[in-house]
Structure 1
Amino acid sequence: MSADRVAGRTALVTGAGNGLGRAIAHALSAAGARVVLTGRTRATLDAVAEELASAAAGVRVAVCDTSSPESVAALRAELSDEDVSILVNNAGIAGPVDALVDVEPADWDEVFAVNVRGVYLMCRAFLPAMTAAGRGDVINVASVSGKRPLARRTPYTASKMAVLGLTVTLAHEVGTLGVAVNSLSPGPVAGPRMTRNFRLEAQRTGVTEAEAEQAFVSRAALQRMVTEEEVGAAAVAMLRMPGLTGADIDLSAGMIAR
């Protein structure tokens, strides 16, 4: 393992075709890791791979639906020639924005299938090789929404709370086997998803989108949202922190207030 704990290793990033997954892949590649990009849509994965094409450590694309046991098993077989020692479970969906009593069971199940079962299946598939080697790192991307109320987002919030519980428990299971397991909890990230949320909130409350955004970011200590690049940098920083396991890193610009 490289002295800086990242360079020369192979990192598998789920949900890597856009958003936080793309940013984390870029940060890992810049830090010298070989990056395996996975997700459900080859076109977006190929686009990110093209962005990273000049990386000295290399990049690889592998399509996978992480909520499917069969798809994850196929991914593990496809990557049997890769020494994956970093697993970043980033794939996730936002789910419905509605009162709990109006959430359909199918929508609830879909959120948990992607956000929780996907983490379980990926860990189940790739941890054995790490524990056999006596080294490895798992970063589960959770959310500050798993630590504070978020009205009309019960499926998402509950799923992220589940990821936090999975992380700390798994850390104790595999810590003596040389594998560190941590979670990274971003706060609201500037980008298309939050822009959409501000538009919907403005429509619901009768204010402007700018007013909806200002009311939201005023709750943060830094009076702003975090960026995708900051989330990518945080993932790399976590990997460079010996002794960090069973921890949740809050990256919210101070928006963790309950």
Structure 2
Amino acid sequence: MVTGTDSGEHAGTEDLADRTAVVTGAGTGLGRAIAARLVRSGARVIAVGRRPAPLEELAAVHPGAVLPAPCDVSSPEDVTALAERLRDEDVSILVNNAGIGGPVADLVDIDPEEWDEVFAVNVRGTFLMCRALLPGMMRRGAGDIINLASVSGKRPLEGRTPYCASKMAVLGLTSTLAFEAGRGGVRVNALSPGPVESERMEHNYRAEARRRGITPEEARQAFVGRAALGRMVTPEEVAGAVHSILGMPGMTGADVDLSAGMVA
């Protein structure tokens, strides 16, 4: 199905026409919106995700502009195989979007396996993808890495300790890697969205409602009520922010807050 995100309803700028981007978690949600936005700007997108079917669907929507590349970013073996597959590609953009929300529960009720799963995808996956693709960018003397973090990595979010801790780790990775990569001409930035209108958030509202004994709508309003704009951000707004960061050549080591004014 072609959604508004993929349909090209916003005119492309073609300012990325000579660039190849890798977007992780590209099959659905934010990743799909980001991939579609980069395509509209002329980029060739290598769409990475665990499940082949959504990646192939995205490629069918954008024939010739999207290359499906199934890969579990938390697996060193998978990422090594992906890097080998892309060894002849001139990848100059990496968007580390793949992530999972993890459990909605008090810390004392979280199993170690649940904690480890969140960090495996959200943190180790980002590390592995950077480690695999940064050397090529450094050799070419240019590139952009954008890591999707979250405002939840900086502000309290009760019942979400694994997710919040993992996103804080992504911010630490970003700021340090910016200095390591900067001398090679590679910029590394983080984008921290607030709650995004998505099925994942609806799942979180239902889980939070069960945990607190309230309705899902009350849980939703608890989130939205903390935003200055009184709403969540959209996947298209996040995708537009990724594109904007790519257009700021003097910025590295930054954390861009896109949260509709979300406060703790």
Normalising by structure 1, what TM-score?
0.94
Which segment drifts farther, 214-223 or 123-132?
214-223
Summarize deviations over 1:203-249 as a string: whole Å, max 9, x none: 44444433332232111000000000111111000000110100001
Distance 2:210 2:76 in 1: 40
**How far did 1:30 drift?**
0.5
Gaps in structure 1 of 5+ consecutive residues: none
Q: Which residue of structure 2 aligns with residue 138 of structure 1?
A: 145
Which segment drifts farther, 103-112 or 10-19?
103-112
Task: Say whether 1:28 aligns with 2:38.
Answer: yes
Summarize deviations over 1:156-190 as a string: whole Å, max 9, x none: 10000000000000001111110000001110001
Q: Which residue of structure 1 aligns with residue 61 of structure 2?
A: 51
Conserved? CA contact 2:174–2:189, under 8 Å: yes
Distance 2:14 2:39 in 1: 14
Conserved? CA contact 2:47–2:55, under 8 Å: yes
**Cα–Cα, structure 1 residues 135 and 229, in superposed 2: closer, same or farther, change >3 Å?**
same
**How far did 1:151 drift?**
0.8
What code does the residue aligned with 1:7 have?
A: A
Q: Which residue of structure 2 aligns with residue 72 of structure 1?
A: 79
1:191 pairs, out of 198, 202, 205, with 198
Q: Which residue of structure 2 aligns with residue 176 of structure 1?
A: 183
Distance 2:180 2:172 in 1: 13
**Cα–Cα, structure 1 residues 126 and 235, in superposed 2: closer, same or farther, change >3 Å?**
same
**Cα–Cα, structure 1 residues 21 and 144, in superposed 2: closer, same or farther, change >3 Å?**
same
Distance 1:131 1:205 in 2: 49
**How far did 1:5 drift?**
5.7
What code does the residue aligned with 2:53 have?
A: A
**How far did 1:4 drift?**
7.6
Task: Say whether 1:19 aligns with 2:29.
Answer: yes
Conserved? CA contact 1:91–1:115, under 8 Å: yes
Distance 1:140 1:94 in 2: 16
What code does the residue aligned with 1:198 have?
A: Y
Task: Say whether 1:127 aligns with 2:134.
Answer: yes
Distance 1:218 1:40 in 2: 34
- Calculate the aligned-residue CA RMSD, in Å: 1.5
**How far did 1:52 drift?**
1.6
Summarize deviations over 1:99-143 as a string: whole Å, max 9, x none: 111111111111111100111111111000100000000000001
- SS of residue matched to 1:177: coil
**How far did 1:145 drift?**
0.5
Conserved? CA contact 2:58–2:66, under 8 Å: no
Gaps in structure 2 of 5+ consecutive residues: 1-12
- SS of residue matched to 1:65: coil
Distance 2:42 2:104 in 1: 39
**How far did 1:44 drift?**
1.1
- SS of residue matched to 1:12: strand
Conserved? CA contact 2:14–2:43, under 8 Å: no
Distance 2:188 2:100 in 1: 22
